[in-house]
A and B are shown apart, each in its own frame.
Chain A
Amino acid sequence: MPSDYHSADRNVLPGACHSSIRFQVAAMLGLLIGGPALAGDADKARGIVAEVCSACHGMDGNSVIPNFPKLAGRHPEYLVRELKEFVSGTRKSAVMTPIAAKLDPDDFKALGEYFGAQKPTSGQVLDQKAAASGMKLYQDGDEERGVPSCAGCHSSDGAGSKRFPRLAGQHREYLIEQMYNFRNDVRNYGAARLMREVAKRLSEDEIKAVAEYLTGL
């Protein structure tokens, strides 16, 4: 995309100026069409959430069942990616694969925006000592063993981004399960493969500690 932009901007050939304007108009139209979901989409998404998602993930995306992840505040693009991965089978989940397959992919974006707009809640820390050592690992990693700081990708406050999921406030049980999914090659596609390495370099207690810290964020 940026390279298109630069080449349209270079004006090397006669007439390129006009094509640059056309390009900009086309880009603006593209934004209007593919931009934030319209009000109708938001209503539709709310309907789908009520009917399909809320039983497990909660109407506001703050699931109260530990093995179902909270989705509130998750970046819309990340959620869309996850849904696509469930459908394609690159991400395996006996629960989510059939559910995602029944959804209309055209609704993914609106669903992502719906959950992204919900206010995420924090969980309660039960083991302060574990949370303290988890915080150190999360923020600093372990140089000696080549454990990266989690904050490098997931950000210091655990909010994540479009490429990396939000972890703050997530259920400890879900976080621990996913770390074992990485370690045991269940989630082993694309960039997630780097998480396999991280999970392998952590002990069971360390995985629990980081999860404990994140639950309280």
Chain B
Amino acid sequence: MSIHGIDRGKIVKRISNALLVLSLWPLVLLAQDRALVGTGNGGQLWNELKGEKLQALGLKGDVARGEEAFKICQGCHRRGATGSVSGAYPRLAGQHATVLIEQIADIRSGNRQNPKMEPFAEEHVLTTQEIADIAVYLQALPIPPNLGKGPGTALDRGSELYAKDCATCHGNKGEGNAEKFFPMVAGQHFKYLLREAHFIRDGNRGNANPDMVKVIKAYGNEDIEAVADYISRLAPP
């Protein structure tokens, strides 16, 4: 009797796993569609969905396990993933899980250039399952107030640039787009936005979206500062 019980349990588990993978598949296909749009630095496809990234996206993340796994990250990203006003570390709380998986996998593979973080994201430290766990944990975290903002001297210019160049992808309120791997930028630390925008413009990020590179190429330092300041003040959803 008990043997039958265990067998049924296994069947239930297999079926539910299969259903889970199937339910995620449209997301993966959609994202693949998007990923083939253009090539980034060094002829690499932007956000090419293969290997570990694809694997992590198909795994079911667990918030409790993610909280435990995130301990390795919170030495830098802080408890509650608030990041740092200095811009050294981004806020991750509330970020889309898909974006987080993409970025962690890219840093790990070296596709995104981040020598500071890479040793802490290598496979001896973090399993693929833990990447998925951390992503759902962070996505569910409340977004903390009092984040780093800019000087507030060119907000009109920032607003104008954002509406013209950024809102199409990152959303009117900076909410981003989980399915298309566009990060939520609202309420991100000003200095972090500044740093990454410079990296993306100057070809130092590695995994920049080529569409964004095209747009930001024309930006002067003051334009970048204005739009980063504006974004840092957008209220996260």
Q: Chain A interface (Cβ within 8 Å of chain B)?
A: 2-4, 6-8, 10, 12-13, 15-16, 18-19, 22-23, 141, 143-144, 146, 148-153, 161, 163-164, 189-191, 193-194, 196-197
Question: A214 to chain B: closest CB distance in Å?
Answer: 15
Question: A115 to chain B: closest CB distance in Å?
Answer: 22
Report yes or no: A153 in contact with B88, Cβ–Cβ below 8 A: no
When C-beta atoms are compared, the residue in chain A nearest to B89 turns out to be: A143
Given contacts A143-B88, A194-B125, are A19 and B8 in contact (CB under 8 A)? yes
The DSSP consensus for interface residues of chain A is helix
When C-beta atoms are compared, the residue in chain B nearest to A190 turns out to be: B124
CB pairs A–B below 8 angstroms (17 shown): A2-B62, A7-B12, A8-B9, A12-B16, A15-B5, A15-B8, A19-B9, A19-B12, A22-B2, A148-B76, A149-B75, A152-B78, A153-B74, A163-B68, A164-B71, A193-B122, A197-B119
B64 close to A (CB within 8 Å)? yes
Given contacts A146-B76, A194-B119, are A19 and B124 in contact (CB under 8 A)? no
Given contacts A143-B88, A191-B72, are A18 and B5 in contact (CB under 8 A)? yes
Residue interface mask B60-74, A partner, CB < 8 A = 1: 101011001001111
Cross-interface CB contact of A193 among B8, B12, B78, B125, cutoff 8 Å: B125
Cross-interface CB contact of A152 among B16, B17, B76, cutoff 8 Å: B76
When C-beta atoms are compared, the residue in chain A nearest to B69 turns out to be: A163
When C-beta atoms are compared, the residue in chain A nearest to B63 turns out to be: A2
CA distance A150 to B86 in the complex (A): 19
Contact partners of A141 in chain B: CB under 8 A: 75-76
Question: A165 to chain B: closest CB distance in Å?
Answer: 13
Question: A196 to chain B: closest CB distance in Å?
Answer: 8
Given contacts A12-B15, A19-B6, A146-B116, are A193 and B124 in contact (CB under 8 A)? yes
When C-beta atoms are compared, the residue in chain B nearest to A14 turns out to be: B8
CA distance A7 to B7 in the complex (A): 12
Contact partners of A143 in chain B: CB under 8 A: 76, 84, 86, 88-89
The DSSP consensus for interface residues of chain B is helix
Given contacts A12-B12, A19-B9, A197-B119, are A152 and B72 in contact (CB under 8 A)? yes
Cross-interface CB contact of B75 among A4, A8, A150, cutoff 8 Å: A150
Please count how many residues in chain B sit with their CB below 8 Å of the partner chain's CB atoms.
35
Contact partners of A196 in chain B: CB under 8 A: 119
Report yes or no: A153 in contact with B9, Cβ–Cβ below 8 A: no
CA distance A150 to B60 in the complex (A): 30
Report yes or no: A151 in contact with B75, Cβ–Cβ below 8 A: yes
B13 close to A (CB within 8 Å)? yes
Report yes or no: B8 in contact with A13, Cβ–Cβ below 8 A: yes
CA distance A2 to B65 in the complex (A): 9
Report yes or no: A10 in contact with B75, Cβ–Cβ below 8 A: no
When C-beta atoms are compared, the residue in chain B nearest to A23 turns out to be: B9
When C-beta atoms are compared, the residue in chain B nearest to A12 turns out to be: B12
B120 close to A (CB within 8 Å)? yes
Cross-interface CB contact of A8 among B12, B117, B120, B124, cutoff 8 Å: B12
19 extra interface residue pairs, beta carbon distance < 8 Å, beyond A7-B17, A193-B124:
A2-B65, A3-B13, A3-B17, A3-B62, A7-B13, A7-B16, A13-B8, A16-B12, A19-B12, A23-B5, A141-B75, A143-B88, A152-B74, A152-B75, A153-B71, A164-B71, A190-B124, A193-B122, A197-B120
Residue interface mask B34-56, A partner, CB < 8 A = 1: 00000000000000000000000
What 10 A-B pairs have minimum CB-CB distances, sorted nearest first? Answer: A152-B75, A148-B75, A146-B116, A143-B88, A7-B13, A197-B119, A19-B5, A152-B74, A22-B5, A193-B124
B134-153: which residues lie under 8 A (CB-CB) from chain A?
A: none
When C-beta atoms are compared, the residue in chain A nearest to B10 turns out to be: A7
When C-beta atoms are compared, the residue in chain A nearest to B8 turns out to be: A19
Contact partners of B68 in chain A: CB under 8 A: 163
Question: B50 to chain A: closest CB distance in Å?
Answer: 25
Question: A181 to chain B: closest CB distance in Å?
Answer: 16
Contact partners of A164 in chain B: CB under 8 A: 71
Residue interface mask B107-129, A partner, CB < 8 A = 1: 00000000011011010110000
